[in-house]
Amino acid sequence: MKLNFITKNLLVISVAAVLFASCRNQAADQKKADYVAGLIDAIYVQQRTSETDAQCALAKKEWDKLTSAQKELVEGENADPDYFGRYTGEAMNDDPLNQDDIGENEILVVSFGTSFNDSRAKDIGGIERALAAAYPSWSVRRAFTAQIIINHVQSRDGEFIDNMDQALERAVRNGVKNLLVQPTHLMRGAEYDELCEALDSYKDKFETVAVAEPLLYSADDKEYVANAVVKEAVKVSGYNSAKDAADRGTAFVFLGHGTSHRAKVTYSQMAEMFRNLGYANMFMGTVEGEPEETAVEEVIEAVKGAGFKNVILRPLMVVAGDHANNDMAGDDDDSWKSLFKASGAFLNVECQIEGLGGIPAVESLYVEHTARALESLKKN
C-alpha cells in the first residue's frame, strides 16, 4: 500500500515536471517566434534607411534558425508565417534590371511591385521585355515604388530591386542623358503622383526627361484594354466568345485595387466601357470598394440581379500578386471567392489568376505609350 502511494506521487511529480517543461518550451518557442515577428515588422515599412539592408539580412537569418513549429507561431502587426514561408516561384527567373552600364538613353519602368516571384517575372517582366525588344538602343531598367515589397523580396530571396531614388541615382551615376519613365500603373493615381514628385528633384540632372502615360489614360486606352482582357478571359475559360459565356449563364468580374484618389473614376469608366461595348456579363469590382459601386456586396447584387449563375473572377491589375491570390482567390472567409460562394446565389465560382502584364496586347499598349513619350523627347 505504501509502495503504491509512493509510486502514485512519483507519477504525479513526473507528469507535473513534463507539463512544466512543456510550458517552458512553448514559452521559449513563442519568444523566438515573437523576436522574428518583430524583425519582419521592422522591415515592413515604406521608408528605406541606412539600416534597411542589415535589417533585411537579420530577419531572414533569424527566420532560418526557427524550427517548423516555431515558424508557425510567427505573428506580428504585419508578420506571419507566409512572409518567408510561402512559395511564390523561383526568384532566379526574374531579372531585377539593376545593372549599370546603362548608356546615354534609359527607359525606367516604374511599378508598384509584387513579392510573388512568378507574377513579377511574367507580368512586370513581360512589359519590360516588350519595351527592351521595341527599343534596342535604349537600356531598360526597373524601379518599384513600394519599399515594403522591395524589402520582402530582398530579405526572402536576396534579390535587390531599386526604389525610385536608387534607380535615378544609378542613372545619374552612369551618365544617362535622356531619361524616359514608363509607369506600369493603371491610372494617374496616388502612385503616379508620387512618381512624378520623386522625379522632379532629378530633372535638372538629365538633358531630357519624359514621363509616359499609365495604362488606362485615354478613352481609347480603356476600350483597347477592355477588349483585350475580355478576349483573354474568355479564351482561358474555354468559351467561344463573351456572348457564348453569357448565353450559358456565366459572368466575369474584373477586380481592381480601388483607391480614394480622384482617379477612382477610372474604375467606373471601365465598368461603363464594358457596357458600351455590349459586354453585358462583364462587371467591375475593387478590393478597396472605392468607388462604392465596385464594393463586393454591390457587385454580388449586380451579378445576381442580372441572372448569372456562374462567376469567373479575374484581376484587372498589372500583376497577379497578393491581391489576386489572397483578396480575390484566397480561402479566407473575406475573400471575393468565399463571399461569392457564401451568398448562395451562384452554382459555380472560379478564379483566373492572371495579370494584365502577361497579356501581349497590353504589353503592346505600353510600348505605344512609350513611343508617344519618345516623340516628345525628340521635340525637346
Task: Tell me whether residue 257 is one of the annotated catalytic residues.
Answer: yes
Among residues 185, 257, 323, 369, the one annotated as catalytic is 257
In angstroms, what is the C-alpha Rg of the chain?
25
Q: Cβ neighbours of residue 306 under 8 Å, at least 6 residues apart?
A: 251, 280, 281
178's grid cell: 535622356
Residue type, 78: N
| DSSP secondary structure, 66-122, as one string | S-HHHHTT---SS--THHHH-----GGG------S---SEEEEEEE---S-HHHIII
Looking at the chain, which runs of residues are DSSP E strands? 105-111, 139-144, 178-183, 208-211, 250-256, 282-286, 310-315, 348-351
Nearest to 106 by CA among 186, 209, 201: 209
How would you list the strands of the sheet with 310-315, edge to edge?
Answer: 282-286, 250-256, 310-315, 348-351
Sign of CA dihedral 163, 169, 173, 179: positive
For residue 114, what is its C-alpha cell? 509584387
Write the single-letter amino acid at 237. Answer: S
**Are 119 and 319 a contacting pair, CB within 8 Å?**
yes
| 322-338 exposure pattern, b = at least 16 Cβ within 10 A, e = fewer | bbbbbbbbbeeeebbbe
**Cβ atoms within 10 Å of 76's Cβ, excluding its own:** 17
Q: Are 144 and 112 in contact (CB under 8 A)?
A: yes
Q: How many CB atoms lie within 10 A of CB 378?
A: 9
φ, ψ for residue 22, nearest 5 deg: -65, -45
Positions marked catalytic? 257
